[in-house]
Amino acid sequence: MTAELWQLPAATLREQIAARKLSPVELTKAVLDRADRLQPILNCFITLVPDQAMAAAREAEQAVMQGKALGPLHGIPYSVKDLVNTAGVRTTFGSRLYETNVPRDDAVAAARLKAAGAILFGKTTTPEFGHKALTDAPLFGRTRNAWNAERSSGGSSGGAAVAVAAGIGPIGIATDGGGSTRIPASANGMVGFKQSLGVVPHSQAPDAFGNYTYVTPMTRTVMDTALMLQAMAGPHPVDPWSIGIPAQDYISAARPDGDLRGKRILHALRFGNTYVAKDVQVAFEAALTRLRDLGAELIELDQPVPDMEAVWKIINHTTWRARFHDMILRDGERMSPSLVRQVAMAQDWTGADYQKAMFQRAEIFRLIQRWFEKADYLVTPTLARTALPIDQDLFEPITIDGIDVGELRRNFFPYCMAFNITGHPALSLCCGYDSEGLPIGLQIVGHFRDDASVLRAAALYEASEDWLARWPSL
């Protein structure tokens, strides 16, 4: 059984642990062994904590043997993106300036996974402060795609996606500020869910009220995402958006029961972008056919889409300038040039420019709310093409089907940013592979704070296909 442990989802592993068919010690050792073997190839971890993980696994095993009450993720190893604080475990934010930083406290999401019985075994790679859709930094180098070493993992949660895709660990905590969970999830064929604003409390957001960033699950299956969300969701005093928002029954929602009859799905192949790869279009249209076969009514979105990227950029880059400008003045030569350059872009924007962008943020939210008056879901591709080359530069144009299409952010993931600034739940899952065997992502967006409904639609689609039968050849 040990040879197959790395292929089992958390939902199965937790049942075997509770039934005493699998030891948390055996499972954790298998995870750490696989991490040791694959880290030199994939470079998806900044820090591994084998001694701490094994000690926690022994405690978890004792609890099982003593018949104690077990948490919903008891004995399940998990990783945490290195932007998320973990008590007593180095948290670098992908930055040389924080190379030896050890937080005293867990972020709320990490604390809740620990309380559910999960076992932390490592911190996954992120570009410095999660500033781009590629995962590389002077601190650790580049993280490779799980399916092709010559392709990027995507970002900024590249390490989280690759670790799960490679079967190193079944679940991981990621973050999403403009697509940072969904982009690498799509590029590596995983499930990446940016839940609604406030569903998972964000205890590290500098601006809690204007927040557009999320602490998220990264998994291989929709059910594992539901398990993580069930553990992490619920109100907390540190996050005003979370107060008064009880967790839904995500686990029941993620069971692929029934169909989509009576549901109306808006769909859009493009979202302000001009180019979409042919393989992505084919996979997207096939996914729409599958959703229709499940009983949904399909409605093409025929309205123009506002320039989401411009609004997101002003909000995001002025936030970064407030956070990092003084740091750059002191230590900019030790920081990622791409971060320094983006912070500089905001130097001429004023407080009025920021506030105007926030006005537009409200307008975009209301626009999408109107879309949802007549639809249950919006479905798009997650990315306009599959994973970028491993040496892709943030400021160099990308190509789609051999055509130079321009700037990366606007042309690679235009589908993602809108739902960071509006707060709607948006999930990416695999909907096929391109001609080179690289995964393609489907994004399902739902009504504000109806996260359970998104999980249900995703679970039904996932069960209707056999994409999960494929694994990367490492």
Q: Which two tokens stand for residue 402?
A: 């051999």
- Largest pairwise CA distance in the chain: 63
Residues of the chain under the 50 pLDDT cut: 1-3
Burial class (CB in 10 A: 0-12, 13-18, 19+), 58: middle
Q: Residue 269: what pLDDT?
A: 98
Using CA atoms, how far apart are residues 350 and 331, in angstroms rounded to an integer?
24
Q: CATH number of the domain that 240 lies in?
A: 3.90.1300.10
Residue 187 resides in a domain: yes
**DSSP per residue over 360-399, as a string?**
HHHHHHHHHHHHTTS-SEEEEESSSSSPPBTT--TTSPEE
To the question of pTM greater than 0.85 for the whole model, the response is yes
Q: Residue 456: what pLDDT?
A: 98
Please, are residues 264 and 374 in contact by the beta-carbon 8 Å criterion?
yes
Residue 325 resides in a domain: no
The residue among 351, 352, 346, 362 whose CA lies nearest residue 421 is 362
Q: Which two tokens stand for residue 154?
A: 């995507």
Residue 320 resides in a domain: no
Q: Residue 4: what pLDDT?
A: 86
The residue range of the domain holding 413 is 2-298+365-469
Q: Residue 451: what pLDDT?
A: 98
The radius of gyration of the chain from alpha carbons, rounded to an integer in Å, stands at 21
Residue-wise pLDDT tens digits, 21-35: 999 999 999 999 999
Residue-wise pLDDT tens digits, 178-215: 999 999 999 999 999 999 999 999 999 999 999 999 99
Please, are residues 110 and 85 in contact by the beta-carbon 8 Å criterion?
yes
Residue 225 resides in a domain: yes
Q: Residue 73: what pLDDT?
A: 98
Residue 428 pairs in a beta bridge with 192, 443
Using CA atoms, how far apart are residues 33 and 449, in angstroms rounded to an integer?
39
Domain count, the chain: 1
Q: Which two tokens stand for residue 41?
A: 């190839």
> Within 10 Å of residue 403's Cβ, how many Cβ atoms?
12
CA atoms within 13 A on the CB side of 248: 17
CA 250 to chain CA mean position, Å: 17
Residue 253 resides in a domain: yes
Residue 396 resides in a domain: yes
Q: Residue 2: what pLDDT?
A: 44
Would you name the residues annotated as active-site residues? 81, 156, 180
Using CA atoms, how far apart are residues 276 and 269, in angstroms rounded to an integer?
8
Please, are residues 451 and 196 in contact by the beta-carbon 8 Å criterion?
yes
Q: Residue 368: what pLDDT?
A: 98
Residue 319 resides in a domain: no
Q: Residue 474: what pLDDT?
A: 87
194: left (phi over 0), alpha (psi -120 to 50) or beta: beta
Residue 323 resides in a domain: no
Q: Residue 3: what pLDDT?
A: 45
Which alpha helices (DSSP H) does 166-272 contain, by range? 182-188, 222-232, 250-253
